[in-house]
Structure 1
């Protein structure tokens, strides 16, 4: 009887909570917070960081302030727009994952129409800003990144193939190209080396995340590498990509895009990431190892970005 009463009370509390959320008036602050949330500020910030790296190196460390600021603003608007569209397209699977259930769309705090409209407006404003005040090539790089993220990755491959992580890396590698082309209006060797660096960095970063959340991705039926093939093949891929990243990162020094400080940083951080990756073969706690790898991937990227600038 006590158990039945407890269950009944819990159901009633949940119903009251749902009704209160449906009827409670929303403040401007709460709506604004949710609108900002769907643009994924963390992803926007990291993309802006790499856009700045492209700006800085493309301008040989002497960028025009006004063009640099417009480029950062325009590219960030495009990223924010793409993230909002991604939120709209993933709203069904977000309901199935603990990490994303409380996002504004699966939690029904925002309408799908408002989010997709926000994404379209932000993307249009960002591309228009780059076209009008920077150059067409930079705008084209932003559009290519948006297309790969929204259409190719989110729309076509994320739910169909384990290769989605690699394919989606194209969009994540576009920010430094936007910055570089904004300064030079050309795609020279340095731009492509920055693209290569960012392209290779992303798979081990996201595979570590997918290992941490493998049960959630499995529940949502997202065919990521650890979901479909398990942890052992995923570990091997993470090691392979971190090993490949080290010599790829050194190409920026070899081509005289970066200096000796960058070379030392690349050797140290790249070697440390490889060592951490190799420890995965002896790890008894795969989730703890994946968590460490995920966190260090962010430290690595930030450290490398700083080394590129200085």
Structure 2
């Protein structure tokens, strides 16, 4: 049962959000690290993200049972109770918000709450089952942790924060589309109107290319506007352009599934590198309050 409660919180998703949050935090801190603030940000965001994942599993338990990829999730196979999962989500959420409220600032707390509301309320409850563009809205929730961590340091939403929001939200869209192409049969079986099911793989590919181009440009703005250095710019540019090339050429020499899987892996590698590089190659030319 303990293992099931761990799985329902999606630890991999929590870890990914912690990594992106660390990137936003170190970018804003510019080498001046407040350890107490850093721990409050990571622990608080981790708990709220975990709460959102539990809520998502609760909401999706019926469609999860229809898809091979998700059929073994604890709530889909009813290995834990729905009441227990909701109580678990509530405890995680309260703990996370309390830590953020006491250890950070109101702006950080507001961003995390907004991200939770978008992910659970707008994306999971409504748009995932009704719109092919649910991923676009859901991408804002994915960008909330790094933006919140950034604002925990700065205490304000400035140009750097807006760039961080753009980078992580734009990345989320082609990343998610790669998953839906790779798991096309699962989403079709569950009658979910994701982009490849509703509009086809060809249209999804075009949309992915547009968003990867936008992501590549947004990522370079950190250097252009003086928030990150040239090493960050060069490494991220090379990887982003390779990701774009693979998306642009399409599944010519391989099946759509293998192509989509390669894009998915590249998207993860890209955002990990972005998070790491913005952590280590910041520039200390932007004044902190």
| TM-score, normalised by the number of residues in structure 2 | 0.95
Confirm whether residue 239 of structure 1 aligns to residue 212 of structure 2: no
Q: Matched residue pairs, number? A: 280
- Out of 240, 252, 270, the position equivalent to 2:240 is 270
In structure 1, what is the equivalent of residue 285 of structure 2? none
Match of 1:221 in 2: 191
Note the C-alpha offset of 1:284.
4.6
1:156 aligns with 2:126: yes
Show CA shifts across 1:95-153 (max 9, x none).
Answer: 00001111111111101111111111111111111111211111111100100000010
Structure 2 equivalent of residue 81 of structure 1: 51
Structure 1: 5+ residue stretches without partners: 1-30
* Deviations 1:238-281 (CA, angstroms, capped at 9, x unpaired): 11111221111100101111111101112111111111111206
Which secondary structure does the structure 2 equivalent of 1:158 belong to? helix
Larger Rg: 1
Which residue number corresponds to residue 151 of structure 2? 181
**Greater relative contact order (Cα 8 A, min sep 6): structure 1 or 2?**
2
Of 255, 260, 269, the match for 1:290 = 260
Return 5+ residue gaps in structure 2 as ranges: 281-289
| Mapped pair 1:305 → 2:257 | no
Structure-2 residue corresponding to 1:109: 79
- Aligned equivalents of 1:119 and 1:35: distance in 2? 10
The CA deviation at 1:61 is 2.4
2:98 counterpart (120, 128, 138): 128
What is the distance in 1 between the residues matched to 2:183 and 2:23?
31
The alpha-carbon deviation at position 155 of structure 1 amounts to: 0.7
Residues 75-100 of structure 1, C-alpha deviation per residue, up to 9 Å, x if partnerless? Answer: 11000000000000000001000011
Contact 2:24 2:150 (8 Å CA) reproduced: yes
Structure 1 counterpart of 2:228: 258
Cα RMSD after superposing both structures: 1.0
Misfit runs of 4+, over 2 Å? 281-284
Match of 1:141 among 97, 111, 135: 111
- Helix, strand or coil at the partner of 2:126: helix
CA distance in structure 1 between the aligned counterparts of 2:251 and 2:70, rounded to whole angstroms: 30
Deviation at 1:163, TM superposition (A): 0.7
* Distance in structure 1 (CA, Å) of the matches to 2:152 and 2:62: 37
Distance, in Å, in 2 between the alignment partners of 1:135 and 1:229 is 42
Structure-1 residue corresponding to 2:287: none
| d(CA) in 1 for partners of 2:121, 2:5 | 22
- Asked if 2 retains the 8 angstrom alpha-carbon contact of 1:239 and 1:274, the reply is yes
Distance 1:130 1:61, change over 3 A: same
Q: 2:35 aligns with which of 65, 71, 86?
A: 65
How far apart are 1:177 and its partner, in Å? 1.2
Question: How far apart are residue 49 of structure 1 and its match?
Answer: 0.6
Aligned to 1:25: none
Contact kept? 1:76, 1:126, Cα under 8 Å = yes
| Aligned-pair CA distance for 1:282 | 2.8
